[in-house]
A and B are shown apart, each in its own frame.
Chain A
């Protein structure tokens, strides 16, 4: 290098350096200096459906975080006097209120039926005092975004279930479990997939062969019976939290194979790229080549892949819980809520119990749209 420094500015008299890349005019910063993530974001923003998906997803996670505050009641709150109470509508006449219920009992079946009664007014307000909870798990508070001004008055905006739980509150609390169980599962699957897929792709040869056979074995297992078996094997004495983690690990055990294949494919292709050879010749060790040069090139794809596997996990949890093998009450998730909707006769009297299914559809679609958009935007250099 001293030799280099000895001839400063020796670019040569006759040499003709090429013109600088010209700055583009216009408001947007020049494409030239934008980093990878800025380019990804710029392309993602042009994708309308993906932006919508992202907004809905973000909203759902906000609901999950502030569930205690947003839900009028806690998960434990129920009123046995109002089984299968139908949804009420909020009305405004100087102040907000919902109608109360009148009960009628069928003389033959002794079945109780509820109808809303406009003559009863249950005033409703914002930031009402209700059950105590800890906001974000830390701050003790007793205010809810909205609810009946008189604690304990019946308010069932989306109706009630068999034991008189408020479905709206249950749905909001269920968001928390349903939207996060996928995340934990995905993180486990991600670690397994990236490590095994990365090794497979980088080492190639024999290691690749072995790992690929393992992946194929896992992929060939029929997933529903496997889940059922694993879930049934969970000790019944486990508490809700243990079950929650166990279920997410069960989901991850299936989910990692697709990720592993994806990562392996990308790594195999990258190995042939000249810049990877160049990095090795630059003196970079194996770790530096993988972490510093190869992983950044696949990271945007991985994130897109991840966002696409979250909805699969949500669906799987819903399916397991629906069948009664996943989470169980008192834990509330959309799948657990849907257990109530298994009976056709119940659905006849209380069709609102299907609403958690709608929530699943919305969440899965939103995540899929966002993931698709991210995948399309992931390679900002391919035009």
Chain B
């Protein structure tokens, strides 16, 4: 059934999340926002998959749907529990099954301020998952919370404090502790560092990398920041208007993108070196993202694509499908074979340590 060498930890097939648009005093449904519109992905055990795209591309909704925080409208998600048994069909889980799934798949949220309940102490925030699952209580719970806090780099002495006493970086550590206390196998990290200061961001990224090694975690790393994604992720999936347009291992995908959208994204990333200013091809996309309730016909990117060809890319009912493009890569572009795209030249493994 699986054509990938290792059985995927999470196998997503044709997942859709459509939100109804309601109007009028009686909430009549007048349309749907196709936040996620037919996504297929495989997450292999132990890898970190980056999910990138502009705001509004559906990456956050996809993450929520995989954690079953929102209900998918269509498609299947298969989860391999790693006990040798059959994969679980996440959409069809019973209540108990769903609880077990949500123990193994945890989420780290973006906003370190709104994701922690201001009325609860650290002990309750981090310990509540254990309590809710009936895994620990009393002094055992406290010990495990203390252990977890130490592990994410916080002193367990602060267990009885409230989140408002902590800085953004420390709050994100708390958030990570809450996610990891249940001993998950997969962590969905939704923009975990984008609200943080530069110097603190590096600390949190390093912490995530360390925890992955120590705890054999698999990450789905959602971010709009392509340089952060490159430094953390083994593979990358690029999303546009609810669809995955390209996936592949990080280095080749960055060095030579196969989808014009990936190329445009990469060329827009500012490089922290004034000597690279103006180097490489500069591609500038039009500002306006199409309305996700009415995506363009054919390839949904054709309205902003510089390589779009009339009569090929804009034919209604003929969207490009994800197709193999060598090196374990997939791309959804009608012109994948006849385009040569430029990515980011490799700098070599290490810039001089400052």
Q: Do A and B bind each other?
A: yes
Q: Which residues of A does B touch, CB under 8 Å? A: 1-5, 7-12, 14-18, 20-21, 30-36, 205-206, 209, 273-275, 277-285, 288, 292-293, 296-297, 381
Count of B interface residues, CB-CB < 8 Å? 59
Which of B98-106, B293-301, B317-325, B339-347 lies at the interface with chain A? Answer: B98-106
B150 at the interface (CB under 8 A from A): yes
Query: Chain A residues with Cβ under 8 A from B160's Cβ?
Result: 33
* A36→B120 CA distance, assembly (Å): 9
- B109 contact set on A, CB distance < 8 A: 274, 277-278
6 nearest A-B pairs in the assembled complex, by CB-CB distance: A32-B165, A17-B153, A274-B115, A283-B132, A282-B129, A1-B183
B67 an interface residue at 8 Å Cβ cutoff?
yes
- A331 to B115, alpha carbons, bound, how many Å? 54
* B210 interfacial by beta-carbon distance below 8 Å: yes
Cα–Cα, bound, A237→B212 (Å): 77
Contact check, A279 vs B150: say whether CB atoms are below 8 A apart. no
A to B CB contacts below 8 Å, 29 in the list: A1-B182, A4-B215, A5-B147, A9-B151, A11-B151, A12-B206, A15-B206, A17-B155, A18-B153, A18-B169, A18-B170, A21-B158, A32-B162, A33-B161, A33-B165, A34-B162, A36-B118, A273-B114, A274-B111, A274-B114, A275-B116, A277-B64, A277-B109, A279-B128, A281-B67, A282-B129, A283-B129, A284-B128, A288-B132
Question: Known interface pairs A8-B147, A17-B153, A275-B115. Does A282 touch B128 (Cβ–Cβ under 8 Å)?
Answer: yes
**Given known contacts A36-B119, A283-B133, is B214 in contact with A18 (CB within 8 Å)?**
no
**CB 8 Å contact bits of B152-173 with A (1 = contact, 0 = none):** 1111011011101111011001
Give residues in B with beta carbon < 8 Å to A.
26-27, 64, 67, 69, 99, 102-103, 106-107, 109-111, 114-120, 128-129, 132-133, 135, 144, 147-148, 150-155, 157-158, 160-162, 164-167, 169-170, 173, 178, 180-183, 200, 203, 206-207, 210, 214-216
Which one of A2, A9, A21, A288 lies within 8 Å of B166 (CB-CB)?
Answer: A21
Contact B144 A1 (CB under 8 A): yes
Evaluate contact between A10 and B214: CB separation under 8 angstroms. Answer: yes
Q: List residues of chain B with CB within 8 A of the CB of A33.
A: 160-162, 165
In the bound assembly, the distance between CA atoms of A11 and B147 in angstroms comes to: 10
Set of chain B residues within 8 Å of A2, measured between Cβ atoms: 183
Instruction: State whether A275 touches B129 (Cβ < 8 A).
Output: no
Residues of A close to B26: CB separation below 8 A: 209
- Minimal beta-carbon separation of B231 from chain A (angstroms): 16
Residue of B nearest to A11 (CB): B153
Instruction: Report Cα–Cα, A277/B215, bound state, in Å.
Output: 25
